[in-house]
Amino acid sequence: MSMQSKSCLTAYLELLRASLWNREATVASPIDWNAVVAMAKQQSTFGLISQAALRLDDSQQPPTAVQQQMQAYLMKTVNAHASTNRMIARVCRILQAEGISPVLLKGQGVASYYPQPLLRQCGDIDLYVGVQPYAQACSLLEKEAYQIAKEIGGTQAVPSFHDTDKHYSVELGRGLSIELHQYTERLSSPKLDAIYQRISDEGTTEGLIPMSFDSVEVLTPSDTFNSFYIFHHLWHHVIGMGLGQRQLCDWMIFLHTHAGRLDLAKLKEWLRDLRLLDVWQVFGCMIVQHLGLPADEMPFYDENKKSRGDRLLHYMLAEGDNFGFKYGRSENVVKRKTATFRYIHRKLWRLLPIFPSIAVRTYFYELGEAVRKIQVH
């Protein structure tokens, strides 16, 4: 990494930490603002670094054009939170009226724990309904989606739909999209998937936490499962379509706000059963060393894995979130699974120096899953 790149990364991380911990940033001049902005956008953290940047001393403020870009984005994010929260309430109200109790995953439920929730970039609305009511929930959402799309985009606007074995997604327009989950996640290893589904069933039925969105009470997962699920989801994205640091910030904020409230024995059991304790600890070193989480708030912290955490950070910054890559959207099953596997194949080999055993194991699981799905169809 060049000196200029190191300087950009140092400034970016300091601005991010300042926003996450609601304090003033301390950065060294000069700052390559174009590079910092590009990094923040790639990592889905532009709102967070914008707030910290605009609070700097006058001598360190971004150029006027960059300030205007930041201010416009912050206004856009505030509006996005309002529309996303209204949509959560609207869809949950419809499902609840039919006796379906959705559980809100990630997203706005986690945003509420931030010091300034409106700075977090909004994403999809993920609602878990389970297997039994899944078909009915999808039918209800599909019917409502046409009305919502017209309200958002005009009388000619129509939503787009995409179905997988995990969830049913609907893109409504103007950045709003909803995913109804019959499973919170599916793993390519049948043995590990069975363990995961047992954990997920417990975490989405016991100890649920209610939250209010636009005066509608919506359930979120139990605290211990949420700490595990946010981590598992970001790990899934690391080996899948990429991970922005927004998800990493979500995990850190959740661990910080729930320190001392998690069932650590149960959490360690889950991680060991799914062979993810080492991965958890490497990620843990990264957020302690680079995002500022106190080590005593990081469950199972192991400082000996710091160098691997450093390598993981640079891997993530190089990869970005890559959410624009719609490798799973082709209607041709062979093309879809081949493209997915080729993409994951490249990512796993780049992860090999950090997580050698898991990268190799996941490679063969994903290969087997791709072949199985192609044969089925």
Q: pLDDT tens, 209-234?
A: 999 999 999 999 999 999 999 999 98
The structure tokens listed for 239 are: 């080996």
Residue 310: which of 337, 338, 274, 282 has the closest Cα? 282
pLDDT of 327: 46
Distance CA 34, CA 32 (A): 6
H/E stretch holding 167: strand 167-173
Mean pLDDT within 28-55: 93
Contact (CB, 8 A) for 282 and 355:
yes
Neighbours of 298 (CB within 10 A): 21
* Mean pLDDT value across the chain: 88
pLDDT of 324: 44
Residue 240: which of 122, 143, 357, 351 has the closest Cα? 351
Q: Provide the CB-side half-sphere exposure for 275 (13 A, CA).
A: 12
pLDDT of 71: 97
Q: Is the pLDDT of residue 315 over 90?
A: no
Helices marked H in the chain — which ranges? 3-20, 33-42, 46-53, 64-97, 107-111, 134-153, 190-203, 223-239, 245-257, 264-273, 277-291, 306-319, 333-351, 356-376
Neighbours of 281 (CB within 10 A): 21
Question: Among 187-196, 289-298, 318-327, 347-356, which is the least confidently predicted range?
Answer: 318-327
The structure tokens listed for 87 are: 């949509």
Distance CA 172, CA 307 (A): 43
Residue 188: which of 370, 369, 63 has the closest Cα? 369
Mean pLDDT within 186-194: 90
DSSP character at residue 300 = T
Distance CA 324, CA 50 (A): 23
Token look-up 């950045």 returns: 175
Mean pLDDT within 8-27: 94
Residue 234: which of 276, 200, 265, 203 has the closest Cα? 276
